[in-house]
Chain A
Amino acid sequence: MSPVAAIAVIASAEFRALVRRRWFFITVAVGLALIVAGTIFAFGDDGLLRSDALRSWTLAVEVIGGLVIGAALGSSAGNRDADGGWLGIQVATGVGRSPVMLGRIVGRTLALVAAFAAWIIVAAICSLIVGNGIDAPLVVTGLAGIENMLVVLTVAALCSVAIGPVAAGVTAGIVYIFVQALVNLSSAAEANVIGTSWTGLMRTLYFIFPRGIISPMVAELQARDVAGLAAPRVVVNGNIVFIQPSSWGSVIWTLGWCVVLAFAAAGALRKRALS
């Protein structure tokens, strides 16, 4: 069997198993309920306020719910199933450890996309109901959220080969905060509101590491300070920093990082003892 076919078979089995898990279902369902609740609250406002309410509410669901799902999916990629025997069953079929791990990450990515797809579709329907049309910027923000959480998922998957699920999830969460902070501080450097000694470091780190993906909608909400807790206005040294939407270069660079992290996880699994 070719590695690609093996990846597809394992991804399919993992995806089906993951979406049946209770925590996954509950997290997605709670997110959907909150988006609907946000829609009901949005009816209390008119015009731009109504649009902002639904957008910020949906953004909060995608950031917080996405973090939970991304970290939880990734952090189980290489530890519990390795100790419990499931990874051993997959590896003992002779398809190779790397395709097994890549299949597991692809299956988890599909589950992440499924969760976001549910939220994006329901948010679009809610937007139609409140009279704002499909709200394409909100859809784009959901796609940006998938990429941000893919970073979380792949970091957690890499960590999961060596450490337990909780530690892997926490590490991935810290990396998420780090890459978001890099974007903020890089923008602060561009705006000359941090010391020159930090500017070079921030730019260097920004160019090296994966980048938090900021959609045009989030940048605009942040600029007006109406994005809510999920994307608060950035203030550095008393100066408001306007975060620019991510370029296509950042989108591709970060996707490339996700691929590198997935292959690193696949490589790391080669040394791990399996049950």
Chain B
Amino acid sequence: MIRARDVHVRYQRGAALAVSGVTFDLAPGKGLLLTGGHGSGKSSVLRAVLGLAGPGGDITVFGGPPGDPRALQRIGWAPQSWPFTYGIRAAEVATMVARLKGHGPAEAAAAMDEAGFTATAKLAPLLEIEESRQLSLACALIGTPDLLVLDDPWEFDETVAAVRRALDRGCAVLAASTDPGGLPGLLGASIQLAEGVPA
């Protein structure tokens, strides 16, 4: 599902590497947690897997290069903090993601329900941080993906249950967290990063 060898990420030409030397495999039904402090490179690895940050090294996702649209359709992405643009309502975020993935508002509503998110009428950038994490998770859960990529998922009951269900049905889960809590036990494997390299 994911094969990553010596992943390195550099955001600008001439800048220092944000990440280097990260190697891992992730098979269906398996989990992997990236841990480390702020700025350790966890999110950069996730972005490299998704093709959002131009990666170096050797990464294949579903047998193709990172960022391949067909592979991305099978991935549920939950970015960290408040990733939502000003002016958009929470329900519109989930509906947009659902439509772009070929689903409808019903799937968006089901994913929000699964993530325990209820503040659908609020403007998304004004959500509380807990609500923002839940909406982010809901976006990832839309359309029963084959790979969940979760950046800083908070350990709500709904999150744990959703991850467990995903693993049980053969979905792989790649997550990153500064404060992992019980996630290592749930996901099974972990890599600790410090200043962009495996510690």
CA distance A198 to B94 in the complex (A): 56
Distance to closest chain B CB from A90 (angstroms): 7
Q: Which of A1, A17, A96, A273 contacts B85 (CB 8 A)?
A: A17
CB pair B69–A96 under 8 Å, yes or no, is yes
Q: Which of B53, B69, B79, B88 contacts A95 (CB 8 A)?
A: B69
Closest to B74 in A: A94
CB pair A84–B85 under 8 Å, yes or no, is yes
CB pair A10–B83 under 8 Å, yes or no, is no
Which residues of the partner chain A approach B102 to less than 8 Å between Cβ atoms? 1
Distance to closest chain B CB from A183 (angstroms): 35
Distance to closest chain B CB from A72 (angstroms): 12
CB pair A274–B85 under 8 Å, yes or no, is no
Count of A-B contacts judged by CB separation below 8 Å: 99
Distance to closest chain A CB from B68 (angstroms): 8
Which residues of the partner chain B approach A93 to less than 8 Å between Cβ atoms? 72-73, 97, 100-101
Interface residues of A in 53-73 (CB under 8 A from B): none
Closest to A97 in B: B67
Closest to B76 in A: A92
CB pair A92–B83 under 8 Å, yes or no, is no
CA distance A225 to B136 in the complex (A): 57
The answer to whether the Cβ of A6 comes within 8 Å of any Cβ in the partner chain is yes
Distance to closest chain A CB from B2 (angstroms): 15
Which residues of the partner chain B approach A17 to less than 8 Å between Cβ atoms? 85-88, 92
CB pair B79–A89 under 8 Å, yes or no, is yes
Distance to closest chain B CB from A112 (angstroms): 15
The answer to whether the Cβ of B108 comes within 8 Å of any Cβ in the partner chain is no
Q: Which of B11, B81, B87 contacts A273 (CB 8 A)?
A: B11
A275 in contact with B79 given A9-B96, A89-B97, A95-B100 (CB within 8 Å):
yes
CB pair A273–B53 under 8 Å, yes or no, is yes
